[in-house]
Amino acid sequence: MVARPAAGGGRRVEVGPERLVRWINGFTGRHGEARVTLADGLLVLTAADGAVAELAPPPGALPDAPAPLLEDVERFVAAASAPRRLGLLLVRRGGIAVGVAAGGELTASKVDSAYVQSRTAAGGWSQQRYARRRANQAKALAGGAADVAARLLAGETLDAVVTGGDRGLVEAVLADPRLAKLPQPARHLDVPDPRLAVLRAAVPAARAVWIVVRDP
C-alpha cells in the first residue's frame, strides 16, 4: 500500500474493500477510538489523538445513500465490498484499453496500441505541419477508442465508469454520442500507456477506497 501526498495536506492511501476493516482497526489502534461523521460525501474518522481519516466511497458504491448510511462504518464497509460492475476506459497517446470488471475480475477487454506524435520544438511551417499531423493522429485515436468503448460498454448496465490516462483524449472519446448514456466518470487513474497488464491493474485501483489521512 503506497501513500501519496494529498491535496490540502496529508497523505492518500488506496485500500481494497477486503482490507478495509483491518485498515480501520489499525487506524483506531494507533490513534485511539474515533468519532464518525459525514462531510462532503466522505466518511470521516476523527481519532482521540486528533488524527483524521477521510474515506471516499469507491465508484458505484453508495450512489444516493442518505447521511445515516454513510455514518455507519459497518454499512459503509458492506457497501464498499458489494460486487459492482465497472466500465474502464484508459486512453493515452500510446494506446487504448477498454474493459468491464465484475467484482475484482476483468470479464471483457480490448487493448490496442496507437501512436500520437510528440510535440516538436521546430518552428514555422514545419511546426504547423507536425501540429496538424498530431491533431489528426489524436482524432483517429479518439475515434478508434470510441468504437471500442461503444462495443464493450454502451450495451452494459454499469454501476460506474472509471477512466485513466490523458484527460483530453478521454474527454474526446466520451464526447461520442454512442457513449452519452454511460455514467459520468467517477474516478480518473494515472496510468502508463495502456496494455492488458495495465488494464488488469486498474481493476483493484478502481475498486479501492481512497483514504486521506491527516496526522495530528
**Which three three-digit cell numbers place residue 84?**
459492482
CATH class of the region 85-206: alpha beta
Q: Which of 43-57, 117-131, 137-151 has the lowest mean pLDDT?
A: 117-131
The pTM score is 0.84
When pLDDT is cut at 50, 70 and 90, the band that residue 135 belongs to is low
Measured CA to CA, the distance from residue 170 to residue 26 in angstroms comes to 37
Q: Where in the chain is the domain with CATH 3.30.420.60?
A: 85-206
Q: What pLDDT is stored for residue 206 in this prediction?
A: 96
Q: What pLDDT is stored for residue 94 in this prediction?
A: 85
Report which secondary-structure segment, H or E, holds 42: strand 42-47
pLDDT digits (tens, 9 = 90+) for 31-60: 999 999 888 888 999 999 999 999 998 999
What ranges make up the beta strands (E) of 48-200?
52-56, 85-92, 95-102, 105-113, 160-165, 185-189
